[in-house]
């Protein structure tokens, strides 16, 4: 069990020197995806374009008339970066960057912090009023302010922990089944279980990148649309 978490270790030992070279797997996407636009329009490019169109429609439905130019490109980049990092971790001996809170917090925290600072600077009164839902009794207002504040503060951490936990859980199951395969009598059943679990992990890799992207866009839209909604009323 000592090597169970070795696949999540970002350190690589070269000639006795520990280097964090495993993080390179997180930036390979920068060199892979741009090549699609320099090649003939094949199946991969068609699939990417289809996903981009579907996600763009989802993001436009989330933001509506409050969409700022370039917002959809930001969240599309989030989606493809996270999905590629998740799939890279499914290859043998490849470091899973999206299973570390260092990466997931680096994605969720700046976006949340930037939107909070923008709201505090440009729509402070509306943001404070948003902490108390309309129709709340006066006696419950202090409690609701605390609940809404805590709910807003923990959002980037729940996004980061959800993504990392889902990646870690699936990879641990794959590691456990893979380590028992050679010692098991029913190797065929273990192999079938590994294949099914790998298919499930592929689905989880796509779903988690979609969930992270959509939830981030919903959180951002909630903050940006507070002041505009109040003005329209």
Q: According to the model, what pLDDT value does residue 233 have?
A: 43
Please state the length of the chain.
Answer: 233
Q: According to the model, what pLDDT value does residue 77 have?
A: 86
Cβ-contact 228, 127 below 8 angstroms = no
Per cent of the chain over pLDDT 90 is: 3
Given a cut of 70, whether residue 225 has pLDDT beyond it is: no
Question: What does each C-alpha distance from 114 to 82, 104, 144 come to in angstroms?
Answer: 20, 16, 24
Given a cut of 80, whether residue 111 has pLDDT beyond it is: yes
Q: Which band of pLDDT confidence, cut at 50, 70 and 90, is reported for residue 157?
A: very high
Q: Give the span between the Cα atoms of 217 and 211, in whole angstroms.
A: 10
**Rounded (5°) CA angle 69-72-73:** 90
- pLDDT tens digit string along 160-208? 988 888 888 877 777 777 666 555 556 777 777 778 888 888 888 889 9
Question: What does each C-alpha distance from 194 to 6, 89, 183, 211 come to in angstroms?
Answer: 19, 15, 15, 25
Given a cut of 60, whether residue 86 has pLDDT beyond it is: yes
Q: According to the model, what pLDDT value does residue 70 have?
A: 74
Q: According to the model, what pLDDT value does residue 221 have?
A: 83
Bridge partners of residue 18, in order along the sequence: 13
Q: Which band of pLDDT confidence, cut at 50, 70 and 90, is reported for residue 231?
A: very low
Q: What is the mean pLDDT of residues 24-47?
A: 67
* 19-32 per-residue burial string, b: 16 or more CB within 10 A, e: under 16: eeebbebbeebeee
Global pTM reads 0.77
Q: What is the mean pLDDT of residues 78-103?
A: 82
Where along the chain do its domains lie? 6-232
Q: What is the mean pLDDT of residues 49-69?
A: 80
Question: What does each C-alpha distance from 207 to 83, 109, 163, 201, 204 come to in angstroms?
Answer: 9, 20, 10, 10, 5
Question: What does each C-alpha distance from 35 to 41, 63, 121 come to in angstroms?
Answer: 11, 30, 40
Q: Where are the alpha helices (DSSP H) in 90-186?
A: 101-122, 124-130, 141-153, 155-181
């Amino acid at each position: 069990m000592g090597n169970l978490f070795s696949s999540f270790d970002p350190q690589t030992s070269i000639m006795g020197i520990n280097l964090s070279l495993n993080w390179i797997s997180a930036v390979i996407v920068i060199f892979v995806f741009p090549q699609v636009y320099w090649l003939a329009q094949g199946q991969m490019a068609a699939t990417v374009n289809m996903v981009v169109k579907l996600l763009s429609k989802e993001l436009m439905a989330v933001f509506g008339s409050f969409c700022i130019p370039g917002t959809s490109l930001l969240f599309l980049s989030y989606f493809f970066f996270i999905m590629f990092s998740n799939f890279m971790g499914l290859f043998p001996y490849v470091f899973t960057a999206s299973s570390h809170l260092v990466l997931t917090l680096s994605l969720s925290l700046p976006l949340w912090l930037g939107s909070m600072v923008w709201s505090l600077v440009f729509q402070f009164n509306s943001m404070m009023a948003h902490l108390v839902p309309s129709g709340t009794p006066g006696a419950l207002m202090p409690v609701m302010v605390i609940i809404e504040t805590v709910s807003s503060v923990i959002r980037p951490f729940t996004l980061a922990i959800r993504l990392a936990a889902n990646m870690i859980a699936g990879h641990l199951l794959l590691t456990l089944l893979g380590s028992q395969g050679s010692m098991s009598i029913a190797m065929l059943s273990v192999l079938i279980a590994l294949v099914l679990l790998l298919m499930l992990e592929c689905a989880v890799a796509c779903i988690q990148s979609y969930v992270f992207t959509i939830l981030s866009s919903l959180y951002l839209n909630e903050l940006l649309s507070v002041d505009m909604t109040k003005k329209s009323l």
